[in-house]
């Protein structure tokens, strides 16, 4: 019994010591004024926002182009006989008005000899036709001989008229423009002998310039004839862009640049010169929709989402991405309206319903 009494006494003494230690600790804690620590709450994140707006978004393709001659608008001036150049009044690249004098030439000696020969042959045929008619009157020739002589005369007359109409009788022939345009090539210089049918001068008619630019073959699917194009002269960005349209898309890859050539026709060629360099911007698609900065869009679960700020709290919206360019993107989704404020900075750390603080713009 004494042993059991001793064990009970030890248990009571230990419990008393524990109780006394707790009371001492509690008293010390009350004297220092400290309390048990409570879990800390994270501060609300500060975010930057932008306003959802409705507008037109365009996707574009940019390239570098060159002003080249529109060969379909080229007029080639030539003569059907050999001639010699007397004067040259124009030079390559010069703008000319309608009926402007470009060259003056004269028939060469060989061409003049051709005219003289045709004249002699006509006179001979005329004499033979008269003789055949006289012989027929005297019953010395058949009717068929008269018909043959008249046919030969008519043939020689047509040849002579054609040569005269070509200008072979004139000592000097003036080559003038049919319409206004630009000189593309001058085929000869003063004193040069120009063969029959060779080009004397080439004139690009009216709107004589096309813009040629290259695109990668993988981009061809984005282009088609008739698409609008904006042209800006390099080093001349202060002027308004020149409107143009795609007229042709070639299917040949340039071996040097590895690009496919595309041609665009400017609405106005004022201020453009041949071989001028221009910046080309092709509008490949255009649409009106809700636009937000690209930084507002976040990838999420195989799609996209963004956050709007409503009454100081972040609200998540699942959206579909439409057209986009370098700055903004079109978004399509429920609950997004014009004027909503979307988070563009700090949105990666947000969750739906989280309290946020909008940064005050300076």
Per residue in 100-109, pLDDT (tens digit) is 999 999 999 9
DSSP 218: G
At 167 the pLDDT is 85
Q: Where are the domains of the chain?
A: 47-59+288-358, 61-70+209-281, 71-205
At 41 the pLDDT is 60
At 270 the pLDDT is 67
Determine the length of the chain: 362
How many Å from the N-terminal Cα to the C-terminal Cα in the chain? 87
Reported confidence tier of residue 14, pLDDT bands at 50, 70, 90:
low
The values of phi and psi at residue 96, to 5°, are -130, 150
CATH 2.40.50.100 fits 71-205, yes or no: yes
Residue 150 has pLDDT above 50, yes or no: yes
Residue 108: count other Cβ atoms within 10 Å of its Cβ: 17
CA distance 112 to 133: 32
Token couple for 308:
């709007």
Most confident residue range from 18-22, 129-133, 357-361: 129-133
Residue 128 has pLDDT above 70, yes or no: yes
CA-CA-CA-CA torsion for 310, 314, 320, 322, nearest 10 degrees? 70
Question: Average per-residue pLDDT in the chain?
Answer: 85
Please, are residues 154 and 170 in contact by the beta-carbon 8 Å criterion? Answer: no
pLDDT digits (tens, 9 = 90+) for 240-268: 888 999 999 998 888 888 999 999 999 88
Token couple for 3:
């042993």
CATH of domain 47-59+288-358: 2.40.420.20
- High-pLDDT (> 70) share of the chain, %: 86
Give the residues across from 75 on adjacent strands: 203
Please, are residues 210 and 72 in contact by the beta-carbon 8 Å criterion? Answer: no
Q: Which fold has domain 61-70+209-281?
A: Elongation Factor Tu (Ef-tu); domain 3 (2.40.30)
The structure's pTM equals 0.58
Cα distances (Å, whole numbers) of residue 302 to 3, 307, 321, 333, 335: 76, 17, 12, 15, 20
Most confident residue range from 39-48, 131-140, 233-242, 353-362: 131-140
Q: Please compute the mean of the pLDDT values over residues 220-238 and round it to a whole number.
A: 85
Reported confidence tier of residue 126, pLDDT bands at 50, 70, 90:
very high
Cα distances (Å, whole numbers) of residue 149 to 117, 136, 311: 19, 12, 110
CA distance 23 to 76: 116
Most confident residue range from 42-46, 236-240, 286-290: 286-290
Reported confidence tier of residue 5, pLDDT bands at 50, 70, 90:
low
At 36 the pLDDT is 44
At 360 the pLDDT is 61
Cα distances (Å, whole numbers) of residue 277 to 67, 144, 200, 267, 309: 7, 72, 29, 17, 48
Residue 160: count other Cβ atoms within 10 Å of its Cβ: 20
The closest of 328, 276, 362, 361 to 48, measured between CA atoms, is 361
Residue 34 has pLDDT above 50, yes or no: no
Residue 26 has pLDDT above 70, yes or no: no
Residue 361 has pLDDT above 60, yes or no: no
SS3 state of residue 100: coil
One-character DSSP codes across 279-347: EEEEEEEEEEEEEEEGGG-EEETTEEEEEEEETTEEEEEEEEEEEE-SSEEEEE-TT--TTPEEEEESG
Token couple for 177:
């423009």
Residue 188 has pLDDT above 80, yes or no: yes
Q: Please compute the mean of the pLDDT values over residues 20-39 and round it to a whole number.
A: 52
Residue 263: count other Cβ atoms within 10 Å of its Cβ: 18
- High-pLDDT (> 90) share of the chain, %: 51
Reported confidence tier of residue 352, pLDDT bands at 50, 70, 90:
very high
> How buried is 165 (Cβ within 10 angstroms: 0-12 exposed, 13-18 middle, 19+ buried)?
exposed
Q: Which residue has the higher pLDDT, 28 or 144?
A: 144
Reported confidence tier of residue 207, pLDDT bands at 50, 70, 90:
low
Cα distances (Å, whole numbers) of residue 207 to 121, 123, 240, 336: 47, 50, 19, 49
Reported confidence tier of residue 173, pLDDT bands at 50, 70, 90:
very high
Q: Please compute the mean of the pLDDT values over residues 153-181 and round it to a whole number.
A: 90
């Amino acid at each position: 019994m004494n042993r059991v009494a001793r064990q009970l006494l030890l248990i009571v003494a230990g419990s008393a010591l524990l109780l006394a230690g707790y009371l001492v600790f509690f008293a010390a804690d009350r004297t220092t004024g400290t309390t048990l620590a409570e879990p800390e709450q994270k501060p609300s994140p500060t975010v930057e926002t932008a306003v959802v707006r409705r507008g037109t978004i365009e996707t574009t393709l940019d390239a570098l182009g060159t002003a080249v001659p529109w060969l379909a608008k080229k007029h080639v001036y030539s003569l059907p006989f050999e001639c010699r150049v007397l004067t040259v009044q124009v030079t390559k690249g010069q703008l000319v008005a309608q009926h402007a004098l470009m060259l003056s030439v004269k028939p060469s000696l060989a061409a003049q000899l051709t005219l003289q020969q045709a004249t002699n042959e006509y006179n001979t045929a005329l004499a033979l036709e008269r003789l055949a008619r006289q012989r027929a009157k005297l019953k010395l020739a058949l009717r068929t001989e008269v018909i043959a002589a008249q046919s030969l005369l008519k043939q020689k007359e047509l040849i002579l008229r054609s040569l005269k109409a070509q200008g072979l009788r004139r000592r000097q022939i003036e080559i003038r423009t049919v319409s206004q345009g630009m000189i593309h090539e001058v085929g000869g210089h003063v004193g040069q002998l120009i063969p029959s049918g060779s080009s004397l001068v080439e004139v690009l008619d009216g709107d004589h310039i096309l813009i040629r630019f290259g695109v990668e073959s993988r981009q061809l699917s984005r282009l088609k004839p008739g698409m609008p194009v904006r042209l800006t002269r390099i080093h001349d960005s202060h002027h308004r862009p020149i409107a143009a349209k795609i007229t042709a898309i070639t299917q040949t890859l340039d071996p040097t640049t590895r690009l496919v050539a595309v041609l665009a026709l400017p609405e106005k060629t004022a201020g453009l010169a041949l071989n001028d360099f221009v910046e080309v911007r092709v509008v490949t698609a255009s649409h009106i929709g809700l636009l937000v900065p690209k930084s507002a869009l976040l990838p999420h679960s195989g799609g996209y989402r963004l956050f709007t700020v409503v009454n100081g709290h972040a609200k998540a919206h699942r959206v579909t991405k439409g057209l986009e360019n370098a700055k903004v993107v079109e978004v399509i989704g429920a609950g997004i309206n014009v004027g909503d404020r979307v988070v563009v900075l700090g949105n990666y750390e947000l969750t739906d319903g989280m309290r946020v603080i909008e940064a005050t713009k300076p």
